[in-house]
Structure 1
Amino acid sequence: MSIQMPGYHQQVLYQADPNVVYNLRSIRDRVHHICRQHMNQIVRIETMDGQVLVGRIVNCDKGIMYLAVSKQGGYRAFFGSPFSSPSDELILTLVLYELLVITLLYT
């Protein structure tokens, strides 16, 4: 949807290739399904930026994974999440299509 503003000309700065959009949606949907199957389980996650996180999958919704991680000094997440967690955990939000590897950790 585009909104025309009087006196302004529109110039498209970026438009995603339809194949890329299809691939991203496919990845997002696949990872969402995997996350839903492994709710409340401990996982190790590697992101596209090389960050490695270990935590418990709390929820997965609208392309976002909510991961409960242990507090280890410093603040790494926002408080007041709608997903409750023990007081020794913080909730991180991760974009599903930025995840490279999700490894299930057995306890």
Structure 2
Amino acid sequence: MSFYQSGQPATLIYQADPAVVQHLHRVRDSLHHSCKPYLNHQVNVQMIDGQMHEGMIAGMDCKHLYLMVGGTADMERGYYNPYYNPYYQPYPGPGYPYPGPVNNNGILPLVLFELLAISLI
């Protein structure tokens, strides 16, 4: 990463209010505490902008909730895999059971601070 130095002191464009930063830390900690017991559970997630997502909580980190969503015909555009072949069934070799259908799930990372509500299904 390179920085352009003009010889002038940097001009501050935005600085978050310390009270807001502290509140966001509390929200993040609350979300972690609330969601951690429900890993691998089916949930319905509503975002601040009104979007709804249904899936299974696959994990969390300090910024995202990872939601495993099933691939459907209307979602192919968003989760397009150019190598996906629904007819390909890998044969692992003798002594292995038939692998069954190909799993077409995807992981949707959702920003923690944009979550409005999470409910069990």
Q: Number of residues paired by the alignment?
A: 97
Partners of 2:113 and 2:21 lie apart in 1 by: 11
TM-score by length of 2: 0.71
Number of the residue aligned with 1:23: 23
1:101 shift after superposition: 0.4
Number of the residue aligned with 1:60: 60
How do 1:62-101 and structure 2 match up within 5 A? 62-73=62-73, 74-77=76-79, 87-101=103-117
Which of the pair has more CA radius of gyration? 2
Q: Calculate percent identity across the aligned residue pairs.
A: 36
Q: 5+ unaligned residues in a row in structure 1: which ranges?
A: 80-85
TM-score by length of 1: 0.79
Question: Are the counterparts in 2 of residues 67 and 92 from structure 1 also a CA contact under 8 Å?
Answer: yes
Does residue 104 (structure 1) correspond to residue 120 (structure 2)? The answer is: yes
Does residue 36 (structure 1) correspond to residue 28 (structure 2)? The answer is: no
- Structure 1: which amino acid aligns with 2:40? N
Partners of 1:24 and 1:8 lie apart in 2 by: 33
Q: 5+ unaligned residues in a row in structure 2: which ranges?
A: 82-101
Q: Secondary structure at the match of 1:44?
A: strand
Partners of 1:29 and 1:78 lie apart in 2 by: 34
Post-superposition Cα deviations, 1:21-75, rounded to whole Å, max 9, x if no partner, equal: 1111111111122221100000000001110000000000122111001112224
Q: 1:8 to 1:75 in 2, by over 3 A?
A: farther
1:6 shift after superposition: 6.0
Larger relative strand fraction: 1
Q: Secondary structure at the match of 2:103?
A: coil
Q: 1:78 to 1:27 in 2, by over 3 A?
A: farther
